[in-house]
Amino acid sequence: MTDLRSVDLDNLAERTGIQVEFYDPLGTHYGFPTFPYHCAPTGLATLRQLRAAGLRPNGQNPIAQIYWRHRNNRRVAYLYRLDLAAPKRAATPAQREAIAKALRARRTCRVCAQVKPYYIPRRYGCCLDCHGGH
């Protein structure tokens, strides 16, 4: 995992003279190993990719980043090592019960005390039936 260089991106500048923006595998320019969008080295993944695979970072710090432009802003996603990632923890029955209770409270109208199949709009503070009656 020490060598994060990409042979294709390294050769691109030599072959065509095109410099790839946001390609800095040694971290000399950005202070952290940096790669362009869709060019992350194998063995590294973003938080979203880890979660989609049922993994979590397991306390490790990111070792690289992906930079890209979105409109006029620069966006960043941090990369974590897949070999150090651990499986996501499952919620305990008590945690699942607390979550279900909290979500049920969001669906319970304060005026008529009915549990609705939708979340009560915070701007009204009551269900749509009670709001329409006021």
Predicted confidence (pLDDT) per residue in 62-107, tens digit = 999 998 888 888 889 999 999 999 999 999 999 999 999 999 999 9
Distance CA 28, CA 4 (A): 13
To which H or E segment does residue 47 belong? helix 47-52
Q: What is the largest CA-CA distance in the chain?
A: 72
Is the pTM here over 0.85, yes or no?
no
pLDDT digits (tens, 9 = 90+) for 8-29: 666 666 666 666 677 888 878 8
Compute the distance between CA of residue 63 and CA of residue 60 in angstroms, rounded to an integer. 9
What is the distance between the alpha carbons of residues 10 and 95, in angstroms, rounded to a whole number?
49
